[in-house]
Amino acid sequence: MPEGPEIRRAADELARALVGRVAETVEFYLPRLAAHGPRLAGQRIVAVTPRAKAMLIRFSGGQTVYSHNQLYGRWKVSRAGRVPGSSRALRLVIANDGHVARLYSATDIELLDEAGLAQHPYLAKLGPDLLDPLTTVATVRATAGTARFQRRALAGLLLDQGFYAGLGNYLRSEILYVAGLRHEQTLGSLTTAERERLADTSLALTRQSYRSRGVTNDLGQAAALKARGVRFADYRHHVFGRDGQPCWRCDEPIVRTDVAGRGIYFCPTCQPGPHHPTGRRGVRRRAY
């Protein structure tokens, strides 16, 4: 499933192609929405806004197309007259005189007015969006101190969009590695310094991933590995997807464990856990 950085980059591409232009054609390929396409055609698109893993495309008439990519949804933007190859099911087309935006595979698509946006169950429950420019370190630290989250294990908490919006599976493993924490720990068991480190790392690493097109590894190290001919998929992350491979920092093999059917990756040395005799005091961490 695309995570916050990927959705925001897709929103950037959609905005460049659509915002400020009249949508000459709008076609929904879900029967329940099909009649709305002609009503939106001829309106100007005034904004494309990502909200965590959702996309909001606002039309000048006051309505907004909401979509969530779920596991397989994908937006593709092409020049007018060109049709990108895809075996996916087409769900939505928005075309102007220069570009065509197509949404494939997603089925969570709605047309909402202002009241609908305010009451939407997914949007209403979101925590601070880590990629929203208005989200600050103080905001994410305050969320980490909220009483209702304290009994939650970090493994599940970091996938809860009501905690930090935009996180997903690869960011979860990477944040815990950089923060030196383990997935079994509960938020309430952390010291104040650990909780602040979790908040700060969540914000910084998510924004790094957005700026670097998905690289969560130390950027200097990633650049050096790339120069040596290492593939993007192999230098992109600290631990995610690297089970059995040596940790970039200590050479200990990375371990994968499954929690609720989803993989978490960690380094037993750099993330020894709270009950390890050495704790985390001997681990030297890079600043992010």
Catalytic residue flag (residue 256): no
Catalytic site residue 262? yes
Q: Which of 9, 53, 182, 280 is catalytic?
A: 53
Catalytic residue among 32, 151, 211, 262: 262
Distance CA 234, CA 237 (A): 7
The residue annotated as part of the active site, out of 3, 6, 27, 194, is 3
- Residue 66 pairs with which residues in a beta bridge? 56, 110
Active site annotation includes 226: no
Residue the block writes with tokens 């329940």: 32
- C-alpha distance from residue 148 to each of 72, 120, 162, 186 (Å): 32, 22, 11, 12
Q: Please identify which residue in the block is written with the tokens 């944040």.
A: 175
CB atoms within 10 A of CB 127: 20
For the question of residue 194 being annotated catalytic, the response is: no
Please list the active-site residues: 2-3, 53, 262
